[in-house]
Amino acid sequence: RAVGGTLATSHPSCMHAAPLLLLPLAVAGQSNGLPPTPVECPEGGCACTANQAKQRHSFESSRCIPEHVLLDLGIQPCNRMSSVSLEMFTWPSHMITTFIGAILAREAMGYDVQINCAANGVNAAARIANGYSDAILEYGTDYFQPDVEKYVHMDMTVVDVGFIGYTVQSGIYVPSYTPRYYASLFADRRMGAIVSENFMYYTSLLLPEVVKMYSQQNDTALIRSIPGLHLRSRFTPPWCTEWSPDGVGNNCIDMKSEDPELNKGVLHQMILNLGLNVTVSYWGASLDGTVGFGSYVLAKIMRGEPFIMKSGYIPKEVFRLVSLSRVAFPPYSQQCYRNNTGLLSGEGSVDCDFPVVNLRKLASPKLMDAPVRNPYHDLGAFFHRMSIAQFQIDRLWVESLPTDIESVSGETEYMSACHWLTNNTNIWSQKWVL
């Protein structure tokens, strides 16, 4: 940091460090002092998806922040001679936030940074506790309370570093063009207008006319048009016939979703307890560019056809071509969730909306409890200060995604993170990297 017009490099954690060479970058697999990757990854999987591998390669093989920008800001990174591993899930916001942290830790602070891939937060706290990863910058503690209780509160082998700055709430969504379809279902124009004006309320899904419209859609050709798309699993309440893609014999709306393990059992409880004429078909997550749930929804959007989908949190403009509207259910309450069994069969008490979840940062005590002269002290302080606003992560998420099914445009998660850093130096140089 520049002090009085000169570059100060005498911070205790840098006193014994060699000057940082700015050109060489971390290479996957090189020896960096970390324990070797376990032969068997913890449950939840640690193999990279194709997109994770591509984005990680971009990080490993390129530089984001020009050296002259750092010098203009009075930042002279030193070689900490210390390595850190950040864990990255498949979700776009998680990847973007991880890259923001990773780029700054490497280029502005001088750490050797390794990116570890994982599918999601299952066993993520255990991976930090056993030394596989050092930090996770977006983690839904509410989703994994048993792990948080064990590793953060009881064993104290993981530190809850604090709020990352944005929240998530799973939801049920319909496209913004839905009202015109609802209005056309009723001969009585006044009735059509009332239903279309209230299309965002779950009660509209109880109307026979609306149920019939969705249930009789023939999606056979659509499914065949997407190579590799296949049904992963389904949920059918007792009063519904099993959903058929051709629409024949269907008496319920089929809701498209990604993975039954996300908010496990909650949607099924809502269907049973609210008496919704809804089945659920699961197609796998595909907002990372792989074939699945997102491919199905994008195909419906391209055709301008009505659909209803359940997803983890997504920005309303995530599909670019059309905005999404979130369907409103009775408000979340602890009483409603008092007996959330998590059973995929749907037994339980949940008959209200999904909770809003504050996303947290988790890290190893070796970072967060490091004394002042320890090389990891500055990194722990940086993770503690790092915070990204909701509107910022939403915008970055949308910018990173392709514009349609065929397109490869969009900045990608790594480039979105990099562009944000180069355009917002005032935020991270004055508030995070001190």
Tens digit of each residue's pLDDT (9 = 90 or more) over 280-334: 999 986 555 568 888 899 899 999 999 999 998 888 888 777 899 999 999 999 9
Query: What pTM value is reported for the model?
Result: 0.81
Of 76, 122, 91, the closest CA to residue 311 belongs to: 91
3-state class (DSSP) for residue 154: helix
pLDDT for position 176: 93
Question: Coil, strand, or helix at residue 131?
Answer: coil
* Tens-place pLDDT, residues 69-89: 999 999 988 878 899 999 999
Contact between 433 and 111 under an 8 Å Cβ cutoff? The reply is no
Other CB atoms within a 10 A radius of the CB of residue 131 amount to 14
For the chain, residues with pLDDT lower than 70 are: 1-45, 285-290, 402-411
What pLDDT is recorded for position 321? 77
Residue 404 CB neighbours (<10 A): 15
Q: Could you tell me how many residues make up the chain?
A: 434
What's residue 30's pLDDT?
Answer: 30
* Average pLDDT of the chain to the nearest whole number: 86
Strand 83-88 to strand 112-117: parallel, antiparallel, or no bridges (unpaired)?
A: parallel
For tokens 């009332």, the residue is 194
* 88 vs 121: CA distance, rounded Å: 10
> Number of C-alpha atoms within 13 angstroms, CB side, residue 406?
2
> CA of 31: how far to CAs of 86, 113, 114, 230, in Å?
16, 12, 11, 41
For strands 324-326 and 171-175, give the pairing.
Answer: antiparallel
Give the per-residue pLDDT at 7. 27
State whether the Cα torsion 270-321-316-400 is positive or negative: positive
